[in-house]
A and B are shown apart, each in its own frame.
Chain A
Amino acid sequence: MKLEMYSTALKQQKRKVSIRSNLNKAFKRHWQLYLLVIPPVLYFLIFKYIPMANAVIAFKDYNVVQGIWGSEWAGLKYFKLFFENPSFWPLVKNTLVLSLYTLLVGFPIPIILALLLNEIRQGIFKRSVQMVTYAPYFISTVVIVSMLTLILSPRLGIVNDVLAIFGLESINFLGEPGMFRSVYVWSDVWQHTGYNAIIYIAALAGVNPELYEAAKVDGASRLQKILHIDIPSIMPVMVIILILNVGNIMAIGFEKVYLLQNPLNLATSEIIATYVYKVGLLNANFSFATAVGLFNSVINLILLLSVNTIAKRISNNSLW
C-alpha cells in the first residue's frame, strides 16, 4: 500500500517536470545512446525519407540537368496521363485480381495447416512436417521461378510428362495468360504456407489447457474443439494477419511477377509494379513512373488504414 502511494506520488512529480528538462537530463545521462542511433537514423533519412521527398518529381517535368528541385512543375499532368492511358484499367485489374487470388488462397491454408498440426502429438512425424514445410521459405524467388521453368516446361517438364500419362494434352503453363495467376499463387502457397503457419502454431500453443479439459468433460469431438476453442483463440492473430495482408494488396511483389513474365503471358502478368519498372528504368520516363508508383502507394496506405479502422470497430483487434 505504502509503496503504491509513493509510486503514484513520484509519478505525479515526474509529470510536473517539463519536457525540456526531461530531454536535457536524458541527453546528459544517455548521450551515448543518442550517439549510437545516429547511423541507423541517417540510414532511414537517406534511403527512406529522401525518396519520399523525391517523389515530388511525380508533379514535375523531371530532367537530369535541372535536377529534382530545379525541374519545372507539371501539376497533375502525369497522373492524368496514367488515368487516360489505355493500359490503366488492365494494370489495376491485373494487380487487384492477382492479389485477391493470393489472399483468398494464401490466407486460409496456413491456418488449416496449423490447426491440423496442433491435433497431432509431438513426434518425428510432426517435426518432419514442420521442418519440410518451412524449408521452401528460404529458397530464393529466382530459384523458385527457375524450378517452375524447368518443371512446367512444355517440352521437357515433368508435370507435362505426368499429364501425358493420364492422356492429357501438354499445357504451356508459363506461356498462357490464363495459367499465369494460378502458377503464381499456387507456387506461392507451396513456398510460404509452412512459414506463415508458424505464427498460428505459436498462438495455438498458448491456448489454456483447461478449456480442452472442460470440452472433454462435455464430450466434445475433436472437430468441435477446433471450431469452438482453437479458432476463437487464434482469432486476434488471424485479424492482424488479415489486416497486414489487405494492406499489402496493391504492393504485391515485383520480384516473382517480373521473373514469371514473358511476352506470351503479359495480358495477365503485367501489374503496376512491373509497369513502373519498365517505363521508369528501362524507358527512363522518371516522372511518369513515379506518378504511377505514388498512386499505388497512396491506394495501399488508404487500404491499410481503412481495414485497420474496420477491424478496430468490429473486433477490437488492430495494428495500433
Chain B
Amino acid sequence: MTRAKNSIRESLGDKVFMAIVYITLTIALLIVLLPLVYIVSASLSSPSAVTSGKVWLWPVEFSLDGYKATFKNSRILTGYTNSFIYTLFGTLISVTLTILIAYPLSRKSFYGRNVLMIFIVFTMIFNGGLIPTYLVVQNLGMIDTRWAMILPQAIAVWQVIIARTFFQTSISDDLVEASEMDGCSDIQFIWSIVIPLSKPIIAVLVLMYAVFQWNAYFDALIYLKSADLHPLQLVLRDIIILNTSGGGQMEASEMLKQQELSNLMKYCLIVVASLPVLIIYPFVQKHFVKGVMIGSLKG
C-alpha cells in the first residue's frame, strides 16, 4: 500500500520536474532560434518595412531587393571570392600539415614522439604575442599578401590532438606490423591504408579548418592593407559595424530610399556571409559532434 502511494507521489514530482525540463529547453530553443529567424525574415522584406520596424518574425512585403543590391556590390563580390580562395587553399594546407604531424605522433615506434608532443602543446599555453608574430610575418615579406591569411594560423594544436587520438585508436599496431612485414614503406602505408581508413576524421578536420578560415577576420585586419585582398568578414565589418556604431547620419528625404536599402542590405549581408557554413552544417553535424568527442577522450 505505502509503496504504491510512494510511487504515485514520486511520479507526480517527476512529472512536474519533466514539465520544467521541457519548458526550459523550449525556451532555450526559441532564444537561439528567434534572432536567426528575425535576421532572415528582415533580409527578405522590403527596405521600408525593415527601416520602419514592421518586421517581427515573418517577412513583410516580401522582396529580394536587398539581395539584388548585395550581389551588385563589387566590394562584397570581391570579398566573397577572396574568402573562397582563402578557405579552399587554407583548408588544404592545414589538413595536410595536421595529418603529417598527427600520424607520426600516433605511432609508438616513432621515437621522440613525447618530446615532439610537448614541443607542440607548449605553444597552446604560451605564445610570443601579437607584435613578435607580426614581425615574423613582416620579415617573411608576407604582409599584404594572400599567404598571410593562410600560413600563420595553418595548424591548430587542438586538431592535431584530435587527429592523433583518432589514428591511435583506429589504426591498430597489428596492421602497422603486418604492413611492415610486407615491406610497405611508411609513406605507402599512410597513402593507401591510413587515409582511406580515416575519412571521418578528415571530414572533421576539413570542416573545422574551413569554418575557421571562412570566419577569420583578425589576420586580415592586421596583415592585409589592400582592399582587393580583404575577405568577406572584413568587408562585413566595414559595412555594418563601423557604419552604425558611428551614430546617426540621416539626411535629406531624397536620401531616405537609398538609406533604407543600405540598411536592408546589412541583413542580407549577414545571411549571405553565414550561408555557406550553415548550408553544410546539417550534413556534417554528426561528424563534428564525433570530433569533439574524440578530442574529449584524451581530456
Contact = CB atoms under 8 A, between A and B. Distances in A.
A and B: bona fide binding partners: yes
Interface of A: 22-23, 25-27, 29-30, 32-34, 36-37, 39-41, 43-44, 46-55, 57, 68, 113, 116-117, 119-120, 125, 128-129, 131-136, 138-143, 145-147, 149-151, 153, 155-156, 158, 161, 174-175, 190, 193-195, 198-199, 202-203, 219, 221-223, 237, 240, 247, 254-255, 259, 262, 273, 276-277, 280-281, 286, 289-290, 293-294, 296-297, 300-301, 304
Contacts of A136: 32, 36
A20 to B, nearest CB: 11
Contacts of B25: 116-117, 120, 125, 129
Given A43-B154, A48-B127, A150-B270, 11 more contacts: A40-B97, A43-B151, A54-B136, A131-B285, A140-B273, A142-B237, A142-B241, A146-B237, A276-B129, A281-B131, A289-B130
A112 to B, nearest CB: 8
Contacts of A41: 101, 116, 119
- Summarize B's interface: helix, strand, loop or mixed: helix
Given A29-B109, A48-B127, A142 B101 contact: no
Contacts, number: 272
Interface of B: 6-7, 10, 13-14, 17-18, 21-22, 24-25, 28-29, 31-33, 35-36, 38-39, 50-51, 53, 55-56, 97-98, 100-101, 103-104, 107, 109-112, 116, 119-120, 123, 125-136, 140, 151-152, 154-155, 185-187, 190, 211, 214-218, 222, 233-234, 236-237, 240-241, 244-246, 248, 263, 266-267, 269-270, 273-274, 277-278, 281-282, 285, 289, 292-293, 296, 299
A52 B119 contact: no
Contacts of A134: 285, 289
A119 to B, nearest CB: 5
B186 A44 contact: no
Contacts of A174: 245
Given A140-B214, A190-B31, A51 B132 contact: yes
21 contacts: A23-B111, A32-B185, A36-B103, A43-B97, A43-B151, A53-B132, A116-B25, A136-B36, A140-B274, A142-B236, A158-B53, A161-B53, A174-B245, A198-B289, A198-B293, A199-B299, A219-B6, A219-B7, A276-B129, A296-B129, A301-B126
**A141, A142, A297: most-surrounded residue (chain B CB, <10 A):** A142
Given A146-B236, A146-B270, A147-B270, A44 B155 contact: yes
A110 to B, nearest CB: 11
B135 to A, nearest CB: 5
A130 to B, nearest CB: 8
A214 to B, nearest CB: 16
B130 to A, nearest CB: 6
B44 to A, nearest CB: 15
Contact of A140 (B10, B151, B215): B215
A49 B29 CA distance: 44
A143 B273 contact: yes
A133 B278 contact: no
A267 to B, nearest CB: 15
A147 B39 contact: yes
A40 B285 CA distance: 28
A154 B183 CA distance: 71
Contacts of A135: 32, 36, 278, 281
Given A30-B110, A276-B131, A222 B278 contact: no
Q: Which 8 A-B pairs have the closest CB atoms?
A: A51-B128, A140-B215, A293-B129, A26-B111, A54-B132, A40-B101, A32-B186, A51-B132
Contact of B130 (A150, A202, A255, A276): A276
**B131, B140, B274: most-surrounded residue (chain A CB, <10 A):** B131
B126 A52 contact: yes
